[in-house]
């Protein structure tokens, strides 16, 4: 430490006011960042103040109004001119006030820290509840969209089946109409066919061979048609109809199976698409949170640097102001600590001299 001749003549009032300004700035920095969720910042500031051994004093307003500036501006040279009894009483009063103010400030800081931690825990609890409720709403919305999509797919399949059934009914009606027309024509020509058959039976067997070729061709044509008619009559259309119906039913079953598979595959693709969208949203949210966290850390570091620089500029010794080299933050904090220890040692030496 320096000798008494190199000690700068700073008043105790300036020291208290400067420390109070540093306290106000530090609390302002904490209030600006109170919305952050990280509870480690309160511990960071507390650790910073403990390492620097900065004892912040908060002056009581009622006591400051009743004290004059001359009572707080007693320097080391002026203390030597006073009587020992007066200086001892004055120093004891100042020490008592300083200890009480420091204890009161420490209690307030601890109560503020506890309140802040409780508020942060409540905020985290509410945030977790909000996240759970938001996840529940997202699940409900996803289920609703999936149900609507499946309903739309089933409705589309139902409408396609109805359209296909209507087309088949129209084709069946057209075929039945043609069958009725053929039956009417057959009934119309049936008596002529019966008459021709009866007439042919009455002819002698060799008579038709002596006729002209036109009559023979007509008779052969009639016989061919008669044989064809008999074949068609022997043919079982009911079995063919049942067979066609079975083939058509099997075709419908295969069509329904393929449609169901395609619908399931489409639903799975929609689910994968929703999962990918949710994953992209989560990744985007994580990126935003990381950017906000990095920005918050940068802001906190810059504020802490400003606070350390402010303390270093106001609480360094006279021989340290002439140095031009750059200090690190640990060196700056060590400088502030040396200044406070120097002032405490100065007070102790003054007491020893007076005693």
In the chain, the number of structural domains is 2
31 and 98 both lie in a single domain: yes
- Which residues, including other chains, have CB under 8 Å from residue 218's CB and lie 6 or more apart? none
How many residues belong to the chain?
355
Alpha-carbon distance 63 to 57, whole Å?
13
Q: Taking CA 203 as the corner, what is the angle to CA 202 and CA 208, rounded to the nearest 5 degrees?
A: 155
Tell me if 293 is assigned to some domain. Answer: no
Tell me if 286 is assigned to some domain. Answer: no
| DSSP-derived secondary structure for 111-175 | HHHHHHHHHHHHHHHHHHHHHHHHHHHHHHHHHHHHHHHHHHHHHHHHHHHHHHHHHHHHHHHHH
Q: Model-level pTM?
A: 0.29
Q: Which residue has the tokens 């208290």?
A: 16
Domain with 207 in it: 146-278
Residue pLDDT tens, the chain, 355 long? 333 444 344 444 454 555 555 555 555 555 455 444 445 555 655 555 555 444 344 444 444 544 444 454 444 455 455 566 666 777 777 888 888 888 888 888 888 888 888 888 898 889 889 988 988 998 888 888 888 888 888 888 888 888 888 888 888 888 888 888 888 887 877 777 777 777 766 665 555 555 556 666 777 777 787 788 777 777 667 777 788 888 888 888 888 888 888 888 888 898 899 999 999 999 999 999 999 999 999 999 888 888 888 888 877 665 555 454 577 878 888 888 888 888 888 888 888 888 7
Domain end marker among 246, 278, 310: 278
Q: Which of 120, 98, 109 is nearest to 27 (CA)?
A: 109
167 and 202 both lie in a single domain: yes
Alpha-carbon distance 271 to 61, whole Å?
67
198 and 322 both lie in a single domain: no
178 and 156 both lie in a single domain: yes
Q: Locate all alpha helices (DSSP H) within 10-83, ordered by sequence.
A: 12-32, 40-52, 61-66, 69-72, 76-81
Query: Measured over all CA atoms, what is the biggest interatomic distance in the chain, rounded to whole angstroms?
Result: 177
Burial (CB count within 10 angstroms: exposed 0-12, middle 13-18, buried 19+), residue 87: buried
Q: Which of 17, 8, 19, 13 is nearest to 76 (CA)?
A: 8
177 and 68 both lie in a single domain: no
Q: Which two tokens stand for residue 288?
A: 């935003």
8 and 113 both lie in a single domain: yes
176 and 130 both lie in a single domain: no
Tell me if 271 is assigned to some domain. Answer: yes
159 and 274 both lie in a single domain: yes
125 and 170 both lie in a single domain: no
Q: Which residues of 166-202 are buried (b: 16+ CB within 10 A; e: fewer)?
A: eeeeeeeeeeeeeeeeeeeeeeeeeeeeeeeeeeeee
Tell me if 284 is assigned to some domain. Answer: no
Tell me if 45 is assigned to some domain. Answer: yes
């Amino acid at each position: 430490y320096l000798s008494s001749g190199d000690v700068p003549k700073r008043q105790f009032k300036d020291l208290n006011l400067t420390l109070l300004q540093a306290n106000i700035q530090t609390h302002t920095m904490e209030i600006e960042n109170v919305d952050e969720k990280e509870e480690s910042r309160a511990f960071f500031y507390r650790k910073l103040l403990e390492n620097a051994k900065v004892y912040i004093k908060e002056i009581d307003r009622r006591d400051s109004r009743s004290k004059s500036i001359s009572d707080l501006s007693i320097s080391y040279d002026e203390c030597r001119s006073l009587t020992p009894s007066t200086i001892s009483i004055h120093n004891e009063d100042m020490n008592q006030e300083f200890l009480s103010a420091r204890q009161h400030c420490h209690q307030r800081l601890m109560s503020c820290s506890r309140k802040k931690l409780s508020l942060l825990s409540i905020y985290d609890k509410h945030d977790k509840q909000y996240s759970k409720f938001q996840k529940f709403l997202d699940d409900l919305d996803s289920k609703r969209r999936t149900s609507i999509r499946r309903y739309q797919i089933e409705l589309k399949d139902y409408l396609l089946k109805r359209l296909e059934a209507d087309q088949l009914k129209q084709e069946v009606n057209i075929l039945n109409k043609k069958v009725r027309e053929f039956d009417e024509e057959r009934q119309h020509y049936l008596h002529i066919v019966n008459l021709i058959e009866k007439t042919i039976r009455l002819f002698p067997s060799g008579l038709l061979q002596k006729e002209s070729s036109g009559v023979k061709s007509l008779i052969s044509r009639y016989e061919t048609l008669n044989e064809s008619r008999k074949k068609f009559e022997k043919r079982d259309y009911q079995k063919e109809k049942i067979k066609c119906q079975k083939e058509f039913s099997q075709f419908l079953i295969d069509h329904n199976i393929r449609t169901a598979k395609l619908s399931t595959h489409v639903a799975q693709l929609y689910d994968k698409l929703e999962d990918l969208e949710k994953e992209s949203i989560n990744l985007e949210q994580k990126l935003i949170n990381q950017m906000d966290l990095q920005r918050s850390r940068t802001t906190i570091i810059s504020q802490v640097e400003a606070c350390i620089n402010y303390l270093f500029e106001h609480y360094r010794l006279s021989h340290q102001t002439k140095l031009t080299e750059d200090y690190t933050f640990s060196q700056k904090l060590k400088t502030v600590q040396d200044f406070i220890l120097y002032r405490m040692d100065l007070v102790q030496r003054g007491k020893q001299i007076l005693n």
